[in-house]
Structure 1
Amino acid sequence: MTGLIYMWLPAPTDFILLPNDVHVWRIDLDRPEAQLHNLAATLSSDELTRANRFHFQEHRQRFIAGRGILRRILAGYLGIEPQQVQFDYQHRGKPVLADTFASTGLFFNLSHSQGLALCAVSCDRQIGVDLEYIRPMSDVEALAQRFFLPREYDVMRSLPADQKQEMFFRYWTCKEAYLKATGEGIAQLEQIEIALTPTESARLQTLQDWSLIEIIPADNYLAAVAVAGFGYQLKYWQY
């Protein structure tokens, strides 16, 4: 498939987001203990409560890393300290910047899977990102029949067995990225039609005013970013 990103640039010193910029950050969630301690110190009390609900230490630490680094990234754009970033939550739990920051026009979305996360940021454009670790699934065709539209399912069913799994995750990440951008739930998966082939990049068939960017951020991972509109400049940063 297309969309392989060969170079993730080092984090910039100055976080500058122009009106047509779309920035995608790759975040390694497995961090040293000392760094986790510093990141935890920037979290709100409700974020720490959520972190402590995780049964396994690995999951707890990855949550702290993801939210702490998200705060650092957003703080860089906003010109404030990470602990000053405030979130509101939409009815389906999607975090957005609090109304205090509405005038900045900053949109963001975070997705994580296993030890990796992606954060997508834009100015005045709705944006969503979904990241999935490609894991073996014996029922991939049945899942496609359940969640995908007939034409999407037919594409998957026509492929050789060794291509079906990748195609499933391409469809899934593209749909989820759009649904996360708009704040809709997974129940809407079959309302969104994606046009793609094994050799061509995805596009939203049902909505012409949205863009899809497919990314292979690391071995055994697939991701997609959904952005409102066109004519943007993409930059890829490694945190």
Structure 2
Amino acid sequence: MDLQIDNIGLPPDNEVHVWCAKVNRLARPLEALRGVLSEDELRRTAKLHFRRDRDRFVAARGLLRILLQCYTGVDAAALRFCYNEFGKPALTPGRNDVRFSISHSHDAALFAVAKGSNVGVDIERIRPRFANEQIAEKFFSESEVKALRALPAELQPEGFFNCWTRKEAYIKARGEGLSLPLRDFDVSLKPGEPARLLRHAQPPELARWTLQALSVPAGYVAAIAVENKGRIVRWQMSEL
């Protein structure tokens, strides 16, 4: 749904709020978003070679800060982030009840906010040239590669990115990066079928996580992984 966001407070324990924005269609000027970034974020921006990538990074990080301000009541520019050894971001100690995840691809950005439950999101633009068997064999499990090969050729790019985003959302939610072997778990990937964690080397993980595909702009696919089953509420960020 479209929403003019304000101070909205944290979601209930059984909800996760998901927001999607097209960063090339922002209601707020890019310079206003740049103004809330930290020195570290500005340094990271400067390292990006292409202007379009710098602008997308500024937009996504600025929107994240504004969104977290609406949940925490802390001014966007005053928010401070810390990172675990695998790069998973969190708000500085004292706000560890606020869990969030961010992903952006091309002109789309995706955000999730939860209270007390780990969450991960991933969004990817469907790029048929990238969705090839060599990459699948490198990053997917044997069962996933077999399922991908079984799809009609015209569905394989979507199936590839279904698998990619679901695995990425899960490892982002876990916050352990690629220290978690990608072949240790299987996800569903067939277009039109529900997102599911099908197999895991640690079977209790199957009951611990909710995996769901998300409705995003045409040409993209996205997924969310949430610790402890809850209701996923999707908001459309359109007037930031």
Give structure 1 stretches of 5+ with no counterpart: 1-7
Match of 2:190 among 183, 197, 215: 197
Q: Distance in 1 between matches of 2:5 and 2:216?
A: 19
Q: Distance in 1 between matches of 2:37 and 2:192?
A: 42
Three-state SS of the structure 1 residue aligned to 2:111 is: strand
Give structure 2 stretches of 5+ with no counterpart: 201-205
Given residue 60 of structure 2, which amino acid in structure 1 is its aligned partner?
G
TM-score scaled by length of structure 1: 0.89
Q: Distance in 2 between matches of 1:71 and 1:144?
A: 34
Q: 1:92 to 1:54 in 2, by over 3 A?
A: same
Match of 1:185 among 153, 177, 201: 177
Structure 1 partner of 2:222? 223
1:120 aligns with 2:112: yes
- Deviation (angstroms), 1:138: 6.3
Q: Encode CA deviations 1:147-179: one digit per residue, 9 max, x unaligned.
A: 211221111111111111111110110000000
Q: Distance in 2 between matches of 1:235 and 1:83?
A: 25
CA RMSD of aligned residues (A): 1.9
Three-state SS of the structure 2 residue aligned to 1:96 is: strand
Structure 1 partner of 2:62? 68
- Deviation (angstroms), 1:236: 2.0
Given residue 224 of structure 2, which amino acid in structure 1 is its aligned partner?
V
Q: Distance in 2 between matches of 1:81 and 1:120?
A: 19
Overall identity of the aligned pairs, in %: 38
Q: Distance in 2 between matches of 1:134 and 1:185?
A: 23
Contact kept, 8 Å, 1:202 with 1:212, in 2: the verdict is yes
- How many residue pairs match? The answer is 230
- Deviation (angstroms), 1:182: 1.0
Three-state SS of the structure 2 residue aligned to 1:100 is: coil
1:170 aligns with 2:170: no
1:13 aligns with 2:12: no
Q: Encode CA deviations 1:12-67: one digit per residue, 9 max, x unaligned.
A: 33413222121111122226797111111111111111111112111111111111
Contact kept, 8 Å, 1:108 with 1:119, in 2: the verdict is yes
Deviation beyond 4 Å, 4+ runs, structure 1: 31-34
Structure 2 partner of 1:238? 237
Q: Distance in 2 between matches of 1:224 and 1:98?
A: 26
Structure 2 partner of 1:106? 98
Given residue 219 of structure 1, which amino acid in structure 2 is its aligned partner?
A
- Deviation (angstroms), 1:195: 3.2
Three-state SS of the structure 2 residue aligned to 1:213 is: strand
Given residue 4 of structure 2, which amino acid in structure 1 is its aligned partner?
A
Contact kept, 8 Å, 1:210 with 1:226, in 2: the verdict is yes
1:130 aligns with 2:122: yes
Q: Distance in 2 between matches of 1:36 and 1:184?
A: 32
Q: Distance in 1 between matches of 2:108 and 2:222?
A: 11
Q: 1:143-162, aligned counterparts within 5 Å? A: 143-162=135-154
Q: Encode CA deviations 1:82-108: one digit per residue, 9 max, x unaligned.
A: 011110011122211111322xx1100
Q: 1:98 to 1:153 in 2, by over 3 A?
A: same
Contact kept, 8 Å, 1:107 with 1:124, in 2: the verdict is yes
Q: 1:233 to 1:164 in 2, by over 3 A?
A: closer
- Deviation (angstroms), 1:208: 2.2
- Between stretches 183-192 and 220-229, larger displacement belongs to 183-192
Q: Distance in 2 between matches of 1:163 and 1:48?
A: 40
Match of 1:59 among 42, 45, 53: 53
Structure 1 partner of 2:212? 213
Q: Distance in 2 between matches of 1:34 and 1:132?
A: 24
Q: 1:213 to 1:11 in 2, by over 3 A?
A: farther
TM-score scaled by length of structure 2: 0.89
